[in-house]
Homo-oligomer: A and B are copies of this chain.
Amino acid sequence: MKATFRDVKADILEKITSGTWQPGSLIPNELDLAETYGCARATVNRAMRELADEGLIERRRKAGTRVRMAPVRQARFDIPIVRQEIEEQGAAYRYFLVSRAIVAAPDWLRARLTLAAGAEVLHLVCMHYADGVPYQHEDRWINLDALPQARDADFSELGPNEWLVSAIPYSDAEISFSATLADAEMADYLGSTEGAALFTVERLTWWQDKANTYVRLSFRHGHRMTTRY
């Protein structure tokens, strides 16, 4: 008796994992559950809402709540700042700015960022090292129309990643993962061989409906991104 929303959640989850409530089957309504657990409906509601958020159950007004047929499993990844990622592994972080140039945006970038012809962008190439070993290669393009302050920023000490989070507190982003082959230049930077398989992250961010920056991060050979869910 006197169940907390955590108790209720755990019990419902147990009923699902053990198979007592089969996928697709209807779960008792909130009022009934509140009575069986001896708590208020709001408590049951919170438990069920969290389970629905996690993709285990499906809720529809009037239709009731049912166990999902094919539970939509979601994995959550923390997207850390490189410095933090490296320091959390107990390694020493080092940053180096390889190049910095203001150029007219190439067409492929204009298309991605929705930029007018002839728009100027800041192109940065940086390296991130963990204990002196190459960790990540960063190829970043910043839209100077959206972020004119970047023109005067000095990226030789502070990485663009960290500069950006201080300049823009929050932004929408699209992130995508893929595998690419290291060309000769990338192999040099990352201390691997040409033709090595690299884990690559691309990210596009917006702020106030304006595309902000496009970045392509190439990790050293063998890098893995892991999470539990």
Q: Footprint of B on A, CB under 8 Å?
A: 13, 16-17, 19, 22-23, 55-56, 67, 70-81, 84, 165-166, 169-181, 195-200, 207-208, 222-229
In the complex formed, the residue of B with least CB distance to A204 is: B228
> Do A81 and B75 have beta carbons less than 8 Å apart?
no
> Do B178 and A223 have beta carbons less than 8 Å apart?
yes
Interface-central residue, A73, A165, A174, by most chain B CB under 10 Å: A73
Residues of B within 8 A of A81 (CB): 70
Residues of B within 8 A of A229 (CB): 79, 172-173, 175
This protein's copies in its complex: 2
Residues of B within 8 A of A13 (CB): 170
Q: A74-B78, A197-B198, A224-B176 are in contact. Are A170 and B17 (CB under 8 A)?
A: yes
Q: Which of B174, B177, B178, B181 is in CB contact (< 8 Å) with A228?
A: B174
When chains A and B are docked, how far (Å) is the Cα of A13 from the Cα of B79? 19
> Do A77 and B78 have beta carbons less than 8 Å apart?
no
Residues of B within 8 A of A73 (CB): 78-79, 173
5 pairs across A/B with beta carbons < 8 Å? A13-B170, A16-B169, A23-B166, A175-B227, A177-B225
CB distance from A162 to the nearest CB of B (A): 8
> Do A178 and B56 have beta carbons less than 8 Å apart?
no
> Do A178 and B19 have beta carbons less than 8 Å apart?
no
Residues of B within 8 A of A56 (CB): 170
CB distance from A64 to the nearest CB of B (A): 18
Residues of B within 8 A of A195 (CB): 181, 195
Residues of B within 8 A of A171 (CB): 17
In the complex formed, the residue of B with least CB distance to A221 is: B179
Q: A176-B226, A200-B179, A225-B178 are in contact. Are A84 and B71 (CB under 8 A)?
A: no
